[in-house]
Structure 1
Amino acid sequence: MLSHSRRAAALYAAVGAVDVLAAGARGERVRWVAKPLLMPLLALYAIAACRERGRRVSRRLLVALALAWAGDVALRFRGTAALAAGAALFFAAYAIYAAEFTRRGGRRIGWVAPAGYGTLTGFVLARLWPGLRATGLAVPLSAYSMLLTAMAAAATTQGARVGAGAGLLLVSDALLISDRLGADLAGTRAGGPAWVMATYLLGQGLVVSGWPGPP
């Protein structure tokens, strides 16, 4: 018999696969059903996994996942207002991640991760700057990108799993903004939504499954 956490993880993977395939096929009706289920399933996994280990789930993690869920729903809509709302909600979610990784400490960050992520963010912002200026969101999305860069760098102190997950979240957001602006970022425009969701779901799964220590 599968444990409750494994069942939740399997459901998350299955619904995630449906959403990724629907994103690639532009199956918007399917995505309206699948996407809002994803973060609740991941939260159920976190709760079950913590109970099986004899500890409480982190309330900060659950709040971050709730914010991510709201961001997912906001980004189901098109337009600048939806992009701004989604970015604000994910800013709050990833601020919790960054604060928690910093508070927990762990391995030293060093200079490689901040330099690498900073270079990636700078490249993406430079490529997308004309489109960002046209939307009027250049400044807030730049601030959001810097927070996400700091979060990804801080995640490297929490081990390879969390570090890889946060890195994928950074890549996912770069692809998302590129797709929303209709830009071609590293040749990914044609399959944009599918790549966005694949990297996002894997990234969130890695971060949550490797979430540091008791609350």
Structure 2
Amino acid sequence: PVWLAAFALALAADLAAITLGADGARWVTKPALMLSLLGFLTVSAPPGNAAARLLGAGLALAWAADAALLVDGTEAFLTGMALFGLMQLCYLAVFVRAGAVERLRRRWPVPAAYLLFWAAAIAVLWPRLGALAAPIAVYGLLLVAMGAAASGLGRSAAAGGALFVVSDLMLGAGVAGLDFPLREQAVMASYGAAQLLIVLGCLRNAAFAPAVVTRRARIEPV
């Protein structure tokens, strides 16, 4: 599909821009990621589907957050994190609509593991985050809730949710001053893969299937 090809091209170009230090080019390559996924969702989901509208709203919020994080400074970082927090809420609403909560009741160790992971990560990073510690902790709780809920939608969405958590953990490590080679490239590669897998996993769910029109519903009123 054209939109997936555009997504792959945008991700490759963004990774190249990071590697080459072409910060100006990232104002084109990074926003193009979510725009291409939004285009793919639009042509793939049934028209008027409520779950697809929620997922689309989440992608739009992610697009805005990506743009905010291209700006330097604490205010821009907090704005981006707040937008991603709203995105997580949209995704959670989608996953609940798709039946994730019912499935996770039989798989309670999954959300328990995510919660323990969040607690361990915050315990390690908290002393290094300063004034950002509390907002990052709150965002992290939304993040792991999304990751846990995604595991109730099948393998693709589960992998996407897990990758999103890993991506943001690496981002948080950078904020805490814990850097490593190719960290920025790893953040964007895992983030892009996470968003793609979440969209693909959602589109395979029954909540995104075309509505069935019954014979009674087709009868026009007199």
Instruction: Identify the TM-score tier after normalising by the shorter chain.
Output: 0.7 to 0.9
CA–CA separation in structure 1 for the residues paired with 2:181 and 2:174: 9
Conserved? CA contact 2:125–2:173, under 8 Å: yes
Per-residue CA deviation, residues 34-64 of structure 1 (Å, 9 max, x unaligned), is: 01111111100111122xxx55451111111
Per-residue CA deviation, residues 107-153 of structure 1 (Å, 9 max, x unaligned), is: 62213322332232223212211222x2x121121111011111111
Structure index of larger Rg? 2
Q: Give the alignment's TM-score, normalised by structure 1.
A: 0.87
User: 4+ residue runs of structure 1 moved beyond 6 angstroms?
Assistant: none
Q: 1:102 to 1:191 in 2, by over 3 A?
A: same
Conserved? CA contact 2:15–2:185, under 8 Å: yes
Structure 1 residues 61-80: aligned runs within 5 Å: 61-80=55-74
Structure 1 residues 31-110: aligned runs within 5 Å: 31-50=26-45, 55-56=47-48, 58-106=52-100, 108-109=103-104, 110=107
Q: 2:112 aligns with which of 91, 115, 120?
A: 115
Q: 2:121 aligns with which of 119, 124, 133?
A: 124
CA–CA separation in structure 1 for the residues paired with 2:114 and 2:8: 27
Partner-residue secondary structure (3-state), 1:210: helix
1:157 aligns with 2:152: yes
Conserved? CA contact 2:59–2:87, under 8 Å: yes
Conserved? CA contact 2:68–2:77, under 8 Å: yes
Conserved? CA contact 1:128–1:183, under 8 Å: no
Q: Give the alignment's TM-score, normalised by structure 2.
A: 0.84
Unaligned runs of 5+ in 2: 210-222
Aligned residues: 201
Who is 2:136 aligned against?
A: 141
Unaligned runs of 5+ in 1: 1-5
Structure 1 residues 188-203: aligned runs within 5 Å: 189-203=180-194
Who is 1:3 aligned against?
A: none
Partner-residue secondary structure (3-state), 1:27: coil
- Alignment RMSD, CA only? 1.7
Conserved? CA contact 1:152–1:167, under 8 Å: yes
Moved more, 22-31 or 9-18: 22-31
Using the aligned pairs only, state the percent identity. 37
Partner-residue secondary structure (3-state), 2:4: helix
CA–CA separation in structure 2 for the residues paired with 1:25 and 1:180: 21
